Structure 1
Amino acid sequence: MVYQFSPIKFDDMGHIRDSVFSILRNAILDKKLEPGQRLVERNIAEQLGISRTPVREAIHKLELERLVTHIPRKGVVVTGFTKADIVEILAIRTSLEALICSIAATKIRPRELERLESLAKQILDEHVKGNLKKSNQLNDKFHEIVYRAAESPRLYDFLNTLREYVTKFTQVAYSKPGRPEEVWVEHNEIIEALRNHDSSGADAAAKRHTENSSKAFLEMAFWEK
């Protein structure tokens, strides 16, 4: 069955392209759009109830991320992910997370540390309650605070590009039995290093956290079963 998009409304017309891009990318990540499936600009625009221009621009961004490709005489088709693609993204994320945590350690403020401590506890509590969506949302906020504490806009933008990928991966990794409890310990190790303004310690703690998350994801993902 061909996936159908629902019409969307925009309060801010300037954000149409980004919204369309996010919709298409999530559909690919969630496998609603499968590898080999054609993306017909006109059809997508009609389904979303918008003009073709933002769809064309969004598809171009998807090409830059290698999620779709243009095939002569066939058009734009979904590329999807290979295991190698996933491993590469996870490795990039590990390096960038470690770097931004090491920078944040030199700049983080007491109120940000207090917020991180509160979030770390809430993340575990919500998971124990079975509120997995809420737990993942709080996890995103935890990392967002660290990213912003570093006050490194370019590095923030690089990590933000990976955000939707990482969110999807985290949801899978959290399904591993015992992983939420491990995350609780790892988050607190990151907080402790940040509190001590220990750049090397923050780097190591963030690297350990992301490597463990990556391992859990690969163990739980469908292609490892």
Structure 2
Amino acid sequence: MAYQFTPIKFDNMGYIRDSVFSILRGAILDGKLEPGQRLVERNIAEQLRISRTPVREAIRKLELEKLVTHIPRKGVVVSGFTKEDVAEIQLMREALESLSCSIAASKIKSKDLEKLESVNNKMLEEYEKGNIEKSISGNKQFHEIIYKAAESPHLYYFVNTLRAYISKFTKLTYTKSGRMKEVYNEHKEIIEALRNHDSNTAYDIAKAHVQKTGRVFLEMSYSDNT
């Protein structure tokens, strides 16, 4: 059954435009709207109980972000990511994640290190209980703490944006047997580098961590096409 949007009460036109864009973008990045799936203005507007104009504007913005594509005689469809697309995004993520970790190493506070330890332990605990979504949420929280510790608003924005783009791909890697335990151990290495305020080591470990996640995803998703 096709994904259905939940009606939302909107207060003003500006809020409507921004909210519709966020709703559609989130559904695409979370994988609720699959690659190749059509986005029909009328249907979306009816489900959200709004006019078609803000839906049309949101779709245009999504097209600029290359999240949707207009195909002649078919309409607007959710864009897919090729192996090359994912590799390119992954390469950029490696650079930004490593930089965030390196900067954070020189600024991080004791309370942040304590949070990282707690969140990492909770992440593994939830995974071992079979609570995959909570474990994935814990992983996201772990990295958020590091981004914020870097105290670089622009870097925070770009690394978060990039992470959102590839979130549904990284989620897949956690279904691989033993991967979450590896992530837990990789996180412990990152914490140790941060605790030592060793920017170079933090950079290298963070880069290796992101590279491993990327390799696992590419192996799981595109092994038949290589």
Distance 1:33 1:20 in 2: 18
Aligned residue number for residue 112 of structure 1: 112
Q: After the TM superposition, which residues 22-61 of structure 1 pair with which residues of structure 2 at under 5 Å, given as runs?
A: 22-29=22-29, 30=31, 32-35=33-36, 37-61=37-61
Distance 1:135 1:12 in 2: 35
Q: Do residues 6 (structure 1) and 14 (structure 2) align?
A: no
SS in 2 for 1:105: helix
Report the Cα offset of residue 80 of structure 1.
1.7
Aligned CA distance change for structure 1 residues 88 and 10 (closer, same or farther; 3 Å): farther
Report the Cα offset of residue 94 of structure 1.
1.0
Report the Cα offset of residue 107 of structure 1.
1.1
Gaps of 5+ in 1: none
Aligned CA distance change for structure 1 residues 11 and 48 (closer, same or farther; 3 Å): closer
Aligned residue number for residue 100 of structure 2: 100
Distance 2:16 2:164 in 1: 18
Distance 2:196 2:15 in 1: 40
Aligned CA distance change for structure 1 residues 62 and 219 (closer, same or farther; 3 Å): same
Aligned residue number for residue 185 of structure 1: 185
Report the Cα offset of residue 12 of structure 1.
7.1
Q: After the TM superposition, which residues 130-209 of structure 1 pair with which residues of structure 2 at under 5 Å, given as runs?
A: 130-209=130-209
SS in 2 for 1:69: strand
* TM-score, reference length from structure 2: 0.87
Given that 2:190 and 2:205 are in contact with CA atoms closer than 8 Å, whether structure 1 keeps it comes out as: yes
Gaps of 5+ in 2: none
Distance 2:93 2:49 in 1: 35
* Coordinate RMSD, CA, aligned: 2.3
Report the Cα offset of residue 63 of structure 1.
1.2
Q: Do residues 91 (structure 1) and 106 (structure 2) align?
A: no
Aligned pairs, number:
222
Given that 1:40 and 1:76 are in contact with CA atoms closer than 8 Å, whether structure 2 keeps it comes out as: yes
Residues 129-152 of structure 1 deviation map (CA, whole Å, 9 limit, x = unaligned): 111010001111111110111111
SS in 2 for 1:106: helix
Following TM superposition, where does structure 1 have runs of at least 4 consecutive aligned residues deviating by more than 6 angstroms? none
Report the Cα offset of residue 108 of structure 1.
0.9
Residues 173-199 of structure 1 deviation map (CA, whole Å, 9 limit, x = unaligned): 111111111111110111111111111
Aligned CA distance change for structure 1 residues 217 and 56 (closer, same or farther; 3 Å): same
